[in-house]
Amino acid sequence: MFSATFVLGYVVPSLQTRIELFSDSFESGTAPLVDGKQPMEVGHWSGDYTEFTGAMGRVKPASGKQMLRFVRADYEGQHLPESFSSDSFRLLDLRPHKKELGEGTAVVRLSALFNGDLSATEGPFSCVLKLYALDADFVKERQSGAFTGSIRERMLANSSSTRVRLDGNPATWQKAGNELRLPPETDFLMIQVGMSNDSKSKTEPRDTFPAHYVDRVQVVLAHVPEVTLP
């Protein structure tokens, strides 16, 4: 009994402070860009074909009147029939919170709610959340076009959530989450929300998502001490 209690307290440290960095239920703002690019400017969603929408069929927004719908696994000007994942990205500026990152204890948590009406299409389908820590020099180079390579070549750190399988019930929203400990030199955070068709069928298309959604995307920063190894 004593050993079990000790281990639980050891691996789940308490959160000392919490700062909400970002929250979006898609109630306002410009429509998402569908140019396939990861945005290097703060303030909009960008990536594959997605759209803001109200209630559709049996799926209602988790809150408010709108949600983000995944439409296709490609983007404007580029048809990718072999693709099976629709992803949207957003860039967050963390420079106003630099003092929170200095001690190396800052952890960001990304969470979102996903839903789908699986009677409207084949499956199975699953969702994923990803986080990328970036520095200002990299973002500036991408903005100017001086660097055109993959974000993975210059990212400071990243993490990907465990894939969450949709339950097929349009009346329930499923929560997914992902965490990343931020290096002190982090200036920007890239978040990614995605939906994938995990079917192995070779005859049915996997690049369209007629009834799949995300809502209530939130990013929170907290201080979590590093776990001391024995």
**Total-model pTM:** 0.88
Residues 82-97 have a mean pLDDT of 95
Domain housing 21: 15-223
Q: Is the pLDDT of residue 198 over 80?
A: yes
81 assigned to some structural domain: yes
Q: Is the pLDDT of residue 76 over 80?
A: yes
Residues 141-145 have a mean pLDDT of 93
Segment 150-187, tens digit of pLDDT:
999 999 999 999 889 988 889 999 999 999 999 999 99
Output 80 or 108, whichever has higher pLDDT: 108
7 assigned to some structural domain: no
10 assigned to some structural domain: no
Q: What is the pLDDT of residue 82?
A: 86
Q: Is the pLDDT of residue 11 over 60?
A: no
Closest alpha carbon to 72 in 212, 170, 216, 214: 212
6 assigned to some structural domain: no
User: Phi/psi at 195 (nearest 5 deg)?
Assistant: -130, 135
Average confidence score pLDDT of the chain: 88
229 assigned to some structural domain: no
CATH (domain of 55): 2.60.120.260
Q: Is the pLDDT of residue 189 over 90?
A: yes
Q: Is the pLDDT of residue 229 over 80?
A: no
Find residue 214's DSSP bridge partners.
68, 114
230 assigned to some structural domain: no
Angle (nearest 5°) at CA 110 between 210 and 149 = 80
SS in 3 state form for the chain?
CHHHHHHHHHHCCCCCCEEEEEEECCCCCCCCECCCCCCCCCCCCEECCEEEECCECCECCCCCCCEEEEEECCECCECCCCCCEEEEEEEEECHHHHHHHCCCCEEEEEEEEEEECHHHCCCCEEEEEEEEEECHHHHHHHHHCCCCCCHHHCCCEEEECCCEECCCCCCCCEEEEEEEECCCCCCEEEEEEEEEECCCCCCCCCCEEEEEEEEEEEEEEEECCCCCCC
pLDDT band at 16 (very low <50, low <70, confident <90, very high): low
Give the chain's domain count. 1
139 assigned to some structural domain: yes
8 assigned to some structural domain: no
